[in-house]
Amino acid sequence: MTTRSVSTLLHRLSRAGFKRDFVRLAILPDWWSESFESDNNLLPDLELRVARFLGMTVANVRDPSHPLAFPTVHSTVLRRAANVNTEQLRPAIHAARRVAEAVVRNMCTSRTSTIPAIPEHWRRELVSGKTPVALEGMLHDLWKRGIPVIPMECLPSPSFQGLAAIIEGHPVIVIGQKHDAPGRVGFFVAHEAGHIAAGDCRADKTIVDEEETTSDWSELETRADRYASDVLLNGVSADKLTGHDYRELAANAYSIESETGAEAGALIFHWARQNGDFSTASRAVGALYQNRGARQTMRRLLVENVNLDDTSETDRALIDLAACEAGSTAIAD
């Protein structure tokens, strides 16, 4: 018979898909150390924390023979991926939704407004003329609409690129991958916004995009890609961008941005998706000094739009998974 202990509980969490690095940040108290694993006096508090996170009864968590489980997300739609299925992503999806719930509960605004269904209309609300759509401006607009954009610094593996869902009445966008180029991340955000604008998400339906290199020609995904392209690239095709090396690619992207308003970084990574050459694209956005800052911008907007003063300890730990820089375990007071 399996013994009820801290060590056993941590092993059960690991079998459920929540490894120790994630559990350390998401569930355990900030004063926890490995030496406490032998102190079963701490077990009742830990079992309560696990029950809250998983949405299970404390009695089932306390039973070492009971598998640790969590609610199934009904009607999860996964962008087709060759090596990953919805079942493998369930821990990451559950963690992302738990963080999103905490964010929504503590948002500074309770109102919501829709995203224009026609991408050109949203673009005109964001910028005028041939001004490129910057990630920060798009994030400001989404938060004002009551649509949080949450960057996850810590998720169970395997993870996902992006997720769109309705959480407690609010459309929510979660970015799972840790790319930092604003143009690249901006496309992810606009893609998930496209799902929301099209009504793809409902209270019982979560849209999960596993990775940007996955080929999925379903109407659901091509429509969201087209929406993001129309918002960020202003009708410019990736075929318009050419270059023999990363320097020429960068120079041409900058020229096209000036002429058309297509955001240079987004255009370069659109070219990368079409040509399967992300290495050259990364060097090109680096040459334009547009290769970093997206994660910091998303974290800053999150902290600015969430009321942390009266947040519960449980919600604070969950929000920390999004608002903290990688490697940090708490938001600075």
Domain count, the chain: 3
Domain-located, residue 199: yes
Within this chain, do residues 47 and 167 fall inside the same structural domain, yes or no?
no
| pLDDT score recorded for residue 330 | 36
| pLDDT score recorded for residue 238 | 82
| pLDDT score recorded for residue 213 | 63
Question: Cα(286)–Cα(21) distance, rounded to whole angstroms?
Answer: 31
pLDDT of residue 331 exceeding 50, the answer is: no
- The pLDDT-based confidence of 69 (bands split at 50, 70, 90) is confident
Within this chain, do residues 108 and 249 fall inside the same structural domain, yes or no?
no
Within this chain, do residues 89 and 52 fall inside the same structural domain, yes or no?
no
Question: Cα(172)–Cα(310) distance, rounded to whole angstroms?
Answer: 22
pLDDT digits (tens, 9 = 90+) for 12-45: 999 999 999 899 989 998 889 988 999 999 999 9
Within this chain, do residues 125 and 245 fall inside the same structural domain, yes or no?
no
Domain-located, residue 68: no
Within this chain, do residues 273 and 314 fall inside the same structural domain, yes or no?
no
Q: Which of helix, strand or coil describes residue 205?
A: strand
Cis peptide before 158 (omega within 30 of 0): yes
**Taking a C-beta distance cutoff of 8 angstroms, is the pair 328, 299 a contact?**
no
Within this chain, do residues 187 and 318 fall inside the same structural domain, yes or no?
yes
Domain-located, residue 1: no
DSSP 228: H
pLDDT of residue 101 exceeding 50, the answer is: yes
Domain-located, residue 26: yes
Name the helix (H) or strand (E) containing 230: helix 219-233
Q: Which of helix, strand or coil describes residue 166?
A: strand
Within this chain, do residues 105 and 194 fall inside the same structural domain, yes or no?
yes
28: containing domain: 6-62
Within this chain, do residues 176 and 321 fall inside the same structural domain, yes or no?
yes
pLDDT of residue 6 exceeding 60, the answer is: yes
| pLDDT score recorded for residue 153 | 85
Domain-located, residue 67: no
Within this chain, do residues 110 and 160 fall inside the same structural domain, yes or no?
yes
pLDDT digits (tens, 9 = 90+) for 207-249: 998 876 656 667 888 999 999 999 999 989 888 999 999 999 9
Final residue in a domain of this structure, among 23, 41, 62: 62
Within this chain, do residues 257 and 158 fall inside the same structural domain, yes or no?
no
Q: Using alpha carbons only, what angle is made at residue 242 by residues 240 and 245, rounded to the nearest 5 degrees?
A: 160
Within this chain, do residues 320 and 251 fall inside the same structural domain, yes or no?
no
Question: Which of 63-77, 173-187, 295-309 is the least confident region?
Answer: 63-77
pLDDT of residue 10 exceeding 60, the answer is: yes
> Is this prediction's pTM over 0.85?
yes
137-144: average pLDDT: 97
Domain-located, residue 103: yes
